[in-house]
A and B are shown apart, each in its own frame.
Chain A
Amino acid sequence: MASERRYLAGFGGYLWGELLPWLGWRGLVRLVVWTGLVNLVLYLDVVTDWDIGWVALESLDEAVDLVWLFAALGAIVVTVGPVVAERRRGTAGWVVSKPVSRGTYIVGKVVAHGLGVAVSMVFIPGLVVYQWLPGAEHARGFAPPTPPLSRYLIALGVIALLTTFLVALVVMLGTLLKRRGPVTGISFFLLIFVFTPPAVFSWSKYLPGMLINWERPTGMTPLANYVFGGPLGPTEAVWATALATVAFTGIAVAAFRRAEL
């Protein structure tokens, strides 16, 4: 395909356009609905003591789980549509007929959706949880220590890294496969496989799932454990997740540069 002299030509304008769906009224509605949904489910679980059936350990542990689970599902769903549909309908061809490099198109998608999911589906719902959860626990007669905000924010940051990993994965699959069904199916399969890793292999420490392990080797997810003062979990998993995110993006760029639109 035509070579792109400037690898990220037109990035600023393109990123603005890709962030549009996350901004304005549509973005606000999505943010409110998402935040409300996550917090409502957690509220029902904690305050009414309604065990929603997944786990019922410490409330913060469950909050981390819920924020992560909803954001992971959201990251796949909101990314797969634009990536596959734009390619099939010809919108991608229209965009790269402008002074925009193909690298910009792919990197912009990962950055915009990664940012959108991080802000709208991780940080804001998570911070709302942080505001009311300790009070609700006290009202129920429990007195858990209030987790330090800095550690809580870092935990949310790790979740944002994991959701960005998923966004990059979906963008890569969408670029390679071009069909919504296989992309969604493979993404959900990998979500289950990569994020519920058997910790028995020597290489398991590199899997993103070690950061949010549902098997709870310490009785809580590694992230909840970290919020209350424990270690973050295998740092290898953090670096491996970041590297995999970059690698997926790179593969998508390479494939998209050869694509006929």
Chain B
Amino acid sequence: MTTTGGPIIEVNGLYKRYGKVEALRGMDLMVPRGTVFGFLGPNGAGKSTTMKILMGLVNPTRGEAFLFGRDALHAGPAARSRIGYLPQDPEFHTDRTVREILKFAGRLYSGGMNPLTLRRRVDSLIERVGLVGKARRRVRALSGGERQRLGIAQALIGEPELLILDEPSAGLDPRGRREVIDLIDDVRQHTTVFYSTHILDDVQRVSDAVAVVGGGRMLAQGSIVEILGTPTDTYTAILRGEPDGLRGRVGNEPWVAGVETTQRGELEEWTVRLADESAADRLLPLLAGQKGCDVIEFHLSDRSLEDAYLEIVGDTHGE
């Protein structure tokens, strides 16, 4: 899917108060059309509240939200017919079967599907989320992970333009998690996916862009590359040998801000942060010039999304 057109979701200065608790404190957000967009933040940061406001389930105290370029707060069923939503901890009618829930959800979409199309779609989704043997099982007899799979299937039933998934991987085992990520990857051609999660490896693997929120506010938003940034002051070196005293010598250089070492079997991994980036060309000769010590690898450090996330979130707590 191309990222043409305006943002599919836009939120400006959204506030939400529950009694004395401020869940949102001026949330801003922009989700470009055609992206897989990760919505990250600690528990209580305002992710679910933002999603609920977009779905018309909760009223904001003030602020504005747009879906498909139109006021989300007055969008109604017409806008929701273009959205698939997975709530956090989805709760369905417990006395109904998996197949009944999906047929029910399918029938709710305006325009509707003819019974044969709906049946095929239900069968296909049951297979896609791995519930083939559970299609006739009642919801109350499903495990947490199976309910989550059903939740994902019902979100896809209307072939939505926009998927809003509130922690789709919650309660899933590693295999289930992988399947969710593969599924998001599958639908991205035709669907914008806006999802929240705490599993940052998954986000880094599949997302085009992310927003990091904390304390009911936007802390950072951008493409994965923008969020990760390119550290130019931190280097990783893998050393073999007995570099006695080397750590002290390196650490005492005025152009070095810090050294961390980690033993990895016979090898030692060094992470050296420079105080002066222009001194980078002095680091490798210093390491390589030691007797009894071989430099196996030397490169600019990669930064994980987890590092970037923790740095952005810092001491921010939830609402």
- Taking a contact as CB atoms under 8 Å apart, the answer to whether B107 and A99 are in contact is no
- Taking a contact as CB atoms under 8 Å apart, the answer to whether B55 and A91 are in contact is no
Within 8 A of A (CB), among B39-83: 52, 55-59, 72-78, 80-81, 83
- Which residue of B has the minimal Cβ distance to A81? B95
Q: Decide yes or no whether B110 CB sits under 8 A from chain A.
A: yes
Compute how far the CA of A26 lies from the CA of B109 in the bound complex, rounded to whole angstroms. 26
Compute how far the CA of A53 lies from the CA of B100 in the bound complex, rounded to whole angstroms. 44
In the complex, which of the residues B59, B72, B74, B77 contacts A99, with contact meaning CB atoms closer than 8 Å? B77
Known: A9-B110, A98-B109, A99-B110. Contact between A261 and B58, CB under 8 A? yes
- Which residue of A has the minimal Cβ distance to B85? A97
Chain B nearest CB from A8 CB (Å) reads: 10
- Taking a contact as CB atoms under 8 Å apart, the answer to whether B76 and A101 are in contact is yes
Q: Decide yes or no whether B177 CB sits under 8 A from chain A.
A: no
Known: A13-B112, A16-B107, A17-B108. Contact between A100 and B96, CB under 8 A? no
- Taking a contact as CB atoms under 8 Å apart, the answer to whether A1 and B85 are in contact is no
Known: A2-B56, A96-B57. Contact between A13 and B91, CB under 8 A? no
Chain B nearest CB from A259 CB (Å) reads: 9
Compute how far the CA of A86 lies from the CA of B100 in the bound complex, rounded to whole angstroms. 17
Q: Scoring A residues 1 to 25 as 1 if CB is less than 8 Å from chain B, else 0, what string do you get? A: 1111110011011101100110000
- Which residue of A has the minimal Cβ distance to B57? A261
- Taking a contact as CB atoms under 8 Å apart, the answer to whether A99 and B80 are in contact is yes
- Taking a contact as CB atoms under 8 Å apart, the answer to whether A95 and B108 are in contact is yes
Compute how far the CA of A14 lies from the CA of B58 in the bound complex, rounded to whole angstroms. 21
Within 8 A of B (CB), among A96-125: 96-101
Q: Decide yes or no whether B283 CB sits under 8 A from chain A.
A: no
Q: Scoring B residues 97 to 120 as 1 if CB is less than 8 Å from chain A, else 0, what string do you get? A: 000100011111110100000000
Compute how far the CA of A13 lies from the CA of B108 in the bound complex, rounded to whole angstroms. 5
- Taking a contact as CB atoms under 8 Å apart, the answer to whether A99 and B109 are in contact is yes
> Which residues of the other chain, B, contact A98 by a CB distance below 8 angstroms?
77, 80, 105, 108-109, 158
- Taking a contact as CB atoms under 8 Å apart, the answer to whether B104 and A16 are in contact is yes
Chain B nearest CB from A93 CB (Å) reads: 5
Compute how far the CA of A5 lies from the CA of B89 in the bound complex, rounded to whole angstroms. 29
- Taking a contact as CB atoms under 8 Å apart, the answer to whether A9 and B76 are in contact is yes
- Which residue of A has the minimal Cβ distance to B111? A99
> Which residues of the other chain, B, contact A21 by a CB distance below 8 angstroms?
95
Compute how far the CA of A13 lies from the CA of B85 in the bound complex, rounded to whole angstroms. 18
Chain A nearest CB from B164 CB (Å) reads: 9
Chain B nearest CB from A251 CB (Å) reads: 20
Q: Decide yes or no whether B90 CB sits under 8 A from chain A.
A: yes
Chain A nearest CB from B104 CB (Å) reads: 4
Compute how far the CA of A100 lies from the CA of B107 in the bound complex, rounded to whole angstroms. 10
- Which residue of B has the minimal Cβ distance to A9? B77
Known: A20-B104, A98-B108, A99-B109. Contact between A91 and B56, CB under 8 A? no
Known: A90-B89, A93-B57, A97-B87. Contact between A20 and B96, CB under 8 A? yes
Known: A96-B57, A261-B58. Contact between A2 and B74, CB under 8 A? yes
Q: Decide yes or no whether A94 CB sits under 8 A from chain B.
A: yes
> Which residues of the other chain, B, contact A89 by a CB distance below 8 angstroms?
91
Compute how far the CA of A91 lies from the CA of B93 in the bound complex, rounded to whole angstroms. 7
In the complex, which of the residues A5, A86, A94, A261 contacts B78, with contact meaning CB atoms closer than 8 Å? A5
Compute how far the CA of A96 lies from the CA of B56 in the bound complex, rounded to whole angstroms. 9
Scoring B73, B90, B110 by chain A CB atoms within 10 A of each residue's CB, the highest score goes to B110
Compute how far the CA of A16 lies from the CA of B100 in the bound complex, rounded to whole angstroms. 11
> Which residues of the other chain, A, contact B72 by a CB distance below 8 angstroms?
2
> Which residues of the other chain, A, contact B104 by a CB distance below 8 angstroms?
13, 16-17, 20
- Taking a contact as CB atoms under 8 Å apart, the answer to whether B107 and A97 are in contact is no
- Which residue of A has the minimal Cβ distance to B96? A20
Chain B nearest CB from A100 CB (Å) reads: 5
> Which residues of the other chain, A, contact B73 by a CB distance below 8 angstroms?
2
Compute how far the CA of A97 lies from the CA of B92 in the bound complex, rounded to whole angstroms. 12
Known: A20-B96, A91-B91. Contact between A97 and B76, CB under 8 A? no
- Taking a contact as CB atoms under 8 Å apart, the answer to whether A1 and B59 are in contact is yes
**Interface residues, chain B, with chain A CB atoms under 8 Å away:** 52, 55-59, 72-78, 80-81, 83, 85, 87, 89-93, 95-96, 100, 104-110, 112, 158
**Interface residues, chain A, with chain B CB atoms under 8 Å away:** 1-6, 9-10, 12-14, 16-17, 20-21, 26, 86, 89-91, 93-101, 260-261
Query: Which 6 pairs between the two chains have the least Cβ-Cβ distance?
Result: A13-B107, A2-B56, A99-B81, A9-B77, A17-B104, A99-B77
